[in-house]
Amino acid sequence: MTKNNSLNFYSIFKWVIIISFVVYAVFPFLWLVLASLKTNAELLDNPFKLPKVFQFQNYSNAIKEANKQGAFVFWNHPHWEANRSDGIAKLDPIHKEIINKGYDVFMIMIYTHPMISFISNFSRERRIPKVGVFSTWKTVYNLIETYKNMLGDNFTLFINNRGDKFKKEVDDFNNAASKGAKGIYDYLNSYMEDTGGREAYKSTFNKPFKLDDKLENEFRKLAANTSADLEDEGTYKALAKDYQKFHHHYESGKYGADRIQSNYNKYLDKQEKDKQRHLGDLESIANTLYDDTFHELLKHSSVEEIDKKVQRFLT
């Protein structure tokens, strides 16, 4: 056996082992999910067959049955959708349904300052866009009073300030907020430039895009007759994707530089609208941070007090 054959055999053997372990680890989980979406008859008939119709109501039915039997159900982040199209967490109809139908619900809300949310987001492997951080913060914490009114004593709040690890950043953000949205906007830009530049604050949802060499050359020749700034990553991606999608029209002459210019103008309009929406969120946050009523709502319980409340709820 030659050295190359030996290496090929070793590589194949290695991947067979890895794939076997992946299948071994993942299969039970997939089976469990599929089984939970079947009718009882389908489960007994053939446990490995796909369900004819996915029975998503099985989950709500399980909670109803548990409630009838007086069981305790712990549901962390109920109906949480991590990848909503607008990136904003909301109080869903299922939450209201559970409460209105008389289920005993206890909620612990963890509050953190918007600047800590911002820093934490970009310290993670999975990072949502900056605008998503602040729009989510605004929406979630504007629901504090709603939750309190709905749940009464079964709602409790805990403030997690990370042991004042980010006290300077929080104080600087608060000072900037005293100047409104523009103050926060300028402070965040300055903070990002001082702590790694904008590259360090990119969302992981922002995937790179590049045309192949042939299309790239054709695209850039056409774009040279427009005012489009292709050095801007967002501009390039928006215009290049359209060029790739409708390349046959560009190639036939049906589309040309005028379409690229039109798309660029639309892109700029959208960017401006997104910026104004973002500034609106920042203005709301600035007002919230200096609102005495909001600070009244932020009166929180200690860990010991929360533990006592939970134990009392469970008895």
pLDDT of residue 4: 54
Whether 275 shows a pLDDT value over 90: the answer reads: yes
pLDDT of residue 250: 94
Return the SS3 of 9.
helix
pLDDT of residue 59: 76
- Looking at the chain, the whole-number percentage of residues with pLDDT higher than 90 is 46
Range of lowest pLDDT (3-7, 106-110, 164-168, 232-236): 3-7
Whether 294 shows a pLDDT value over 50: the answer reads: yes
Whether 312 shows a pLDDT value over 60: the answer reads: yes
Return the SS3 of 279.
helix
- 192-202 pLDDT, tens digit per residue, is 999 999 889 99
Whether 13 shows a pLDDT value over 80: the answer reads: no
146-169 burial: b if 16+ Cβ within 10 Å, else e: ebbebbeebbbbeeeeeeeebeeb
- 213-236 pLDDT, tens digit per residue, is 999 999 999 999 999 999 999 999
Average pLDDT over residues 285-296: 93
Per-residue confidence at 115, pLDDT binned at 50, 70, 90?
Answer: very high
CB atoms within 10 A of CB 135: 23
Q: Which residue has the higher pLDDT, 217 or 149?
A: 217
pLDDT of residue 71: 61
d(C-alpha 118, C-alpha 15), whole Å: 40
Whether 3 shows a pLDDT value over 70: the answer reads: no
pLDDT of residue 6: 56
Name the burial class of residue 282, with classes exposed (0-12), middle (13-18) and buried (19+) by CB atoms within 10 angstroms of its CB. buried
Per-residue confidence at 131, pLDDT binned at 50, 70, 90?
Answer: very high
- 241-260 pLDDT, tens digit per residue, is 999 999 999 999 999 999 99
92-114 burial: b if 16+ Cβ within 10 Å, else e: eeebeebbeeeeebbeebebbbb
pLDDT of residue 81: 54
d(C-alpha 96, C-alpha 150), whole Å: 9
Whether 84 shows a pLDDT value over 80: the answer reads: no
- 150-188 pLDDT, tens digit per residue, is 888 889 999 998 888 999 999 999 999 999 999 999 999
- 54-74 pLDDT, tens digit per residue, is 887 887 777 777 666 666 565
Average pLDDT over residues 137-151: 88
